[in-house]
Amino acid sequence: MKKYILIIGVVLAAFVVTNNLTSCATTEKITAKTGTQLWGENCIRCHNAPSSTRYSDNDWAVILTHMRVTANLTADEEVKIREYLKSAN
């Protein structure tokens, strides 16, 4: 019985380690993305992304605050998208 518990423990530990390593790699890929990439990938998931020049910087700030919650963006992603939008205006 102890042998089976040990085997199950080792398998679970291997799963946890593998899962954490994979999620770290995914997180690094996401943080390496530019504001342009994030804008394209996140905004078109739910609707057609408007032109970056459609709204003023102040309007985009309000929109991004709302969309950060709606689209589940991180603070870093919001900053990158905001910088992209400001540079494109």
Task: Give per-residue pLDDT as tens, 7-66.
Answer: 665 656 666 666 655 555 555 666 789 999 998 888 888 888 788 889 999 999 999 999
Q: How many residues does the chain have?
A: 89
Question: What does the block give as tokens for 50?
Answer: 């408007």
In the chain, the number of structural domains is 2
Burial of 42 (0-12, 13-18, 19+ CB in 10 A): buried
One-letter amino acid at 61 equals A
Is residue 19 domain-shared with residue 40, that is, in the same domain? no
Identify the pLDDT of residue 19.
60
Instruction: Provide the pLDDT confidence category of residue 89 given band limits of 50, 70 and 90.
Output: confident
Residue at token pair 């205006």: 89
Residue 86 has pLDDT above 70, yes or no: yes
Is residue 45 domain-shared with residue 80, that is, in the same domain? yes
Instruction: Provide the pLDDT confidence category of residue 4 given band limits of 50, 70 and 90.
Output: low
Identify the pLDDT of residue 20.
57
Helices (H), 1-89: 2-31, 35-43, 57-70, 75-88
Which residue range(s) make up the domain with 68? 34-89
Phi, psi of 5 (to 5 degrees): -65, -40
Question: What does the block give as tokens for 34?
Answer: 């530019």
